[in-house]
């Protein structure tokens, strides 16, 4: 059983209605990618050098997965697949930013900080546009909207990571 480590933010793509009739729209796919040409673009030079130094004998491979999520979504993600668990642990020790649990924690802290910032401003009536001059209202309103959108993005990313965590278990059993 392989150990999979997600390398970047998964991306969700809407499958248009006219493509839903195609059989491949509903299939989950794992595509091996070339480490030499693709890895540096995804993780950077330092991490890619670490992987290349230890990839001997196919112990590490790079994968791109596509998963169908009903009703009309395809989720794409890039993974490093390790044949041996100790090698995966060494990678995570060298590059802790790829630990899924720490990613969740960072997202949670960032979301809570933004929510607290908005709540404090609401308590101070900082978003009360009737108290603000006409020339500044748009700026204050836009600041609130931007913060609200950023909180929404963090919540969506957390959901994506929860989904990708479940998919990692499925893929590791298949690969």
**For 81-107, what is each residue's pLDDT tens digit?**
898 899 999 999 999 999 989 999 999
Angle, alpha carbons 144-146-151 (nearest 5°): 95
User: pLDDT tens digits for 132-168?
Assistant: 888 888 998 899 999 999 999 999 999 998 998 888 8
Q: Quick check: 175 and 81 in contact, CB under 8 A?
A: yes
Q: What is the pTM of this model?
A: 0.78
Alpha-carbon span 166 to 102, nearest angstrom:
16
């Amino acid at each position: 059983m392989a150990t999979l480590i997600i390398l970047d933010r998964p991306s969700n793509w809407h499958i248009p209605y006219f493509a839903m009739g195609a059989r491949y729209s509903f299939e989950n796919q794992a595509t091996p990618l070339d480490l030499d040409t693709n890895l540096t673009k995804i993780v950077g030079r330092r991490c890619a050098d670490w992987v290349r130094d230890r990839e001997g004998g196919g112990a590490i491979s790079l994968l791109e997965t596509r998963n169908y999520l009903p009703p009309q979504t395809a989720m794409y993600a890039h993974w490093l697949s390790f044949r041996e668990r100790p090698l995966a642990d060494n990678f995570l020790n060298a590059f802790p930013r790829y630990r899924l649990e720490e990613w969740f924690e960072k997202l949670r802290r960032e979301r809570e900080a933004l929510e607290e910032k908005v709540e404090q401003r609401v308590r101070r009536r900082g978003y009360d546009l009737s108290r603000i001059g006409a020339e500044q209202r748009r700026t204050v309103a836009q600041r609130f909207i931007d913060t609200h959108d950023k909180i929404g993005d963090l919540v969506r990313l957390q959901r994506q990571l929860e989904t990708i965590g479940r998919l990692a278990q499925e893929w590791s059993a298949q690969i």
